[in-house]
Amino acid sequence: MLKHTFAAGLAVLGLAAGPALAQDYPTKSIEIIVPSSAGGSTDTTARIFAEIAEKKFDGFNFVINNIKGSGGQKGFEAIARAKPDGYTIGMVFTPQLVAHIVSGRASYTLDSFHIMGNMGEDPALVAVPKDSPIETLDDLAKGDDLTVAVNGIGSDDFIAAKNFEDAAGVSFNLLPTKGSTEQKSAILGGHVDASFMNLTQIIGQHKSDDARIIAMLTRDRSDLVPDVPTGVEQGYDVLMTATRGFVAPAGVPDDIAARLDEVLADVMADPEFTQKAEASSIYLLPMSGPDYLAYLETLQADTQKVFDAAPW
Amino acid sequence: MEYIAIVLAPASLLAILTGTVAGVVIGAMPGLTATMAVGLLVPFTYTMDPVLGLMLLGGIYAGAMYGGSIPAILLNTPGTPAAVATALEGYPMTRQGRGRLALKVSVVGSFMGGMLSALVLLMFAPLLAKQALAFGPAETFLLALMGLAGIVSIADEDTSLIKALLAGVLGMIIAVIGTDAMSGGLRYTFGSINLIDGIDFMPALIGLFSMIQMLDIAGQRHETTIDASILEKAQKSEPMPKGIARYMALGSGTGTVVGVLPGEGATIAAFLSYNFAKRIAGVKAKFGTGAPEGIAASEAGNNGCVGGSLVPTLTLGIPGNSVAAALMGAFIIHGMIPGPDLFAVHADKTYPFIYSLFIANVVFLIVGISVAPYLARIALIPPAIMVPVISAFAVLGSYALNQSVFDVYLMIGFAFFGLILKKIGYSLEALILGLILGPIAEGGFSQGMIIGKGSPAIFFESNIAKVMWVIILGLLTPPLVAHVRRMLRR
């Protein structure tokens, strides 16, 4: 106990210089940088993770630090800049993480991170007003003049809509909004013909028949709305989802990085974690570090194509 | 009836009391927001009884909306942007030793607004929500225009119309900084990541209100000695001004209507109510120099938003503002998906929650009335202590919101910039109106033009739009006529 306190004291004073060893790790609290405001969905994901990880692993203590702003860019940069000693990790979300790289605004690249793995997702979809004559993606593809709402420029909705335009050979009257609330009221009020958005944002309205989801932009149908066909089923190969994963700054010692990856994987396999995530409408999509990195690289290439065609 | 019994159970009352008092404190602290508090507490309510959790959060929402007016009146530091209009009348009253009355008017106004809007939520929620959906981006533009019409009525004997308009435009220009929502392009950010989201309102408001005030006081040649008669006055209880209920009713109605509209906030509701009150009261009410009528309307207006904003939130799952969005998270976490189910399957939780809002209003009314005499004494603190303490709070408040040192510089920059403008006779009120309403107007206008496929006809088509144009003209005509008269007299 005394030794433990002493070590912690040294660490606090900044005297414990040399690289930390995995068997002692962690000797102090680990900071999780959350690049969005407290109380949001990404923040809730981080807090549930911290709660379960502290319960499961002795000596692990987490402090959440919300660095919001600029579509996550401030927070992503803070993670990339952090000292790679395993005492700062962070959450990232797509496609903003790669969109900032593509638009040339970010001071980081994917190489600035050790990718720990993905945790959750919010799949993209196409929704229409309840009385809309548009019933399938084919109907949507017919209308060159349709007004289609997306969340801001460079968002997942925007990139999905651009990819769909490309696949269907149409050009929409795109309406950028300041978030899902505006998209929802535009759909429910019939101010737009369709909206590209995410499942958590409109599932309630779909179930209460205030709006209609006509396609899920996922590979398989969602268990939550099994009656809705996917875009692929309807012949449009447009896939999009908003992922939320964990990363550490690049350069974290290998043994500590391995330990962090293990903590993440273990927490995600925990039934209590699954249950809490479900209650908070967080859809889990476990991906290992290498898998998630591969996903991010593909996404970056896709986003680059959209950006090159119509830069923002 | 059984729902009322649930609300009156000791545990429920305790939850409402705790939430409301905590809300008042949070609202009174610049830098802490109800959105933040509700958002952080939502995961904690997971293990609580759903009804109790929701009551706690509802209390925070109602309490915080009122709490914002306390520092606005006493220290010229609005705790939330929604309390800006309150500060315009409240602080002058404090300087005149009428702080206690200002606090009383504010709490009673908030109470009235809160009660009416909760009543509307209880009785007409599903009906109103469907109507509110007709309100699209084009109408949002007109609503912002209605608020901006207030700039014209700022011009009076002392401020020229040109200077008021210029200040308003300046505010809108400052609000242009940041990401253009329509193209994704960056405007005037000069490569700084701190400017990508634009200028945050709170540091700007703290700079333009409290910091300027402190610079002003510190810059006085002679230390103003405390007048003994002011001290006495602040202790004396003044009766409520006659006819003030009219302004409270006006604010409550405006606030509730604006609150029901998806995405509109308490700030615009308070400004609109304030402006309506100013029009009705005319010159004799001396708006801008400490008119209790202004406080009554503005506070009733922003608290009217509480119940109003929950109408689309609970019935359609479209949060009326950011606090309502956080609150919606609490419903979802307990498996209560907003929609018709909330009023049928989950009626045993939803109705007690709505009833609890009435109690929350009563709680802050009692708290507000009973602490007003003590709080009013803050005005008696000598400048030598007041200036450093408030300046420290101004710095803290600007930093705390985004944990950003940049925001502190921004606050100081706004203070000096605002002081210069004020000295050469430009209206800061107009600047703030432009700063806050400019982006709303821009968003509504650009979206309206996109939906209208490039034709401005969309701004005149719907019946709502036509009624709004009539109101806008009604707001603009009297001050313009008065202005022309003044010109001719000269």
DSSP letter string, B73-118: HHHS--SSGGGHHHHHHHHHHHHTT-HHHHHHHHHHHHHHHHHHHH
* Size of chain A, expressed as the number of residues it contains: 312
DSSP B193: G
pLDDT of amino acid A22: 59
Nearest CB partner across the interface for A73, out of B43, B181, B193: B193
3-state helix, strand, coil in chain B (%, to 5): 75, 0, 20
Nearest CB partner across the interface for A39, out of B40, B196, B339: B40
The domain spans of chain A are 30-121+242-309, 122-216
pLDDT of amino acid A154: 85
Residue B227 has pLDDT above 90, yes or no: no
> Given pLDDT bands bounded at 50, 70 and 90, which one contains residue A259?
very high
Give chain B positions within 8 Å (CB) of A39: 35-36, 38-40, 42, 326, 329
Mapped onto helix, strand or coil, the DSSP state of residue B254 is helix
Give chain A positions within 8 Å (CB) of B410: none
Q: How far is A277 from chain B (nearest CA, A)?
A: 10
Record: contact B317-A207, CB cut-off 8 A: no
Residue A90 has pLDDT above 90, yes or no: yes
CB B65 within 8 A of CB A66: no
Tell me whether A206 touches chain B (CB under 8 Å): no
The H or E element spanning position B30 is none
pLDDT of amino acid B223: 58
Record: contact A188-B38, CB cut-off 8 A: no
More confident residue, A280 or B155: A280
Give the CA count within 13 Å in the CB-facing half-sphere of B134.
9
Identify which of B84, B110, B481 has the alpha carbon closest to the alpha carbon of residue B268.
B84
Average pLDDT over residues A234-256: 95
Residue with tokens 């896939």: A239
Alpha-carbon radius of gyration of chain A: 21
Q: Per residue in A191-200, pLDDT tens?
A: 999 999 999 8
pLDDT of amino acid A14: 43
pLDDT of amino acid A18: 46
CB B302 within 8 A of CB B266: yes
More confident residue, B160 or A189: A189
Average pLDDT over residues B422-426: 89
* Size of chain B, expressed as the number of residues it contains: 490
Amino acid at B373: P
ipTM over 0.90 threshold: no
Record: contact B443-A73, CB cut-off 8 A: no
The domain spans of chain B are 2-489
Q: Per residue in B304-344, pLDDT tens?
A: 999 999 999 998 888 888 888 889 888 887 888 888 888 88
Q: Six-digit token pair at B279?
A: 């029009």
Residue A113 has pLDDT above 80, yes or no: yes
Residue B224 has pLDDT above 70, yes or no: no
Q: How far is A67 from chain B (nearest CA, A)?
A: 8
Q: How far is A84 from chain B (nearest CA, A)?
A: 23
Looking at every residue in chain B, the average pLDDT score rounds to 88
pLDDT of amino acid B127: 85
Cα nearest neighbour of A48 on chain B: B43
pLDDT of amino acid B325: 85
Record: contact B451-A190, CB cut-off 8 A: no
CATH topology of domain A122-216: D-Maltodextrin-Binding Protein; domain 2 (3.40.190)
Chain centre distance of CA A52: 20
Cα nearest neighbour of B38 on chain A: A39
What pTM, to 2 d.p., does this model score? 0.86
**Architecture of the A30-121+242-309 domain:** 3-Layer(aba) Sandwich (3.40)
Residue B380 has pLDDT above 60, yes or no: yes
3-state helix, strand, coil in chain A (%, to 5): 40, 20, 35
Q: Give the number of A-B residue pairs with CB atoms closer than 8 Å.
A: 128
Average pLDDT over residues B24-49: 82
Nearest CB partner across the interface for A147, out of B333, B338, B451: B451
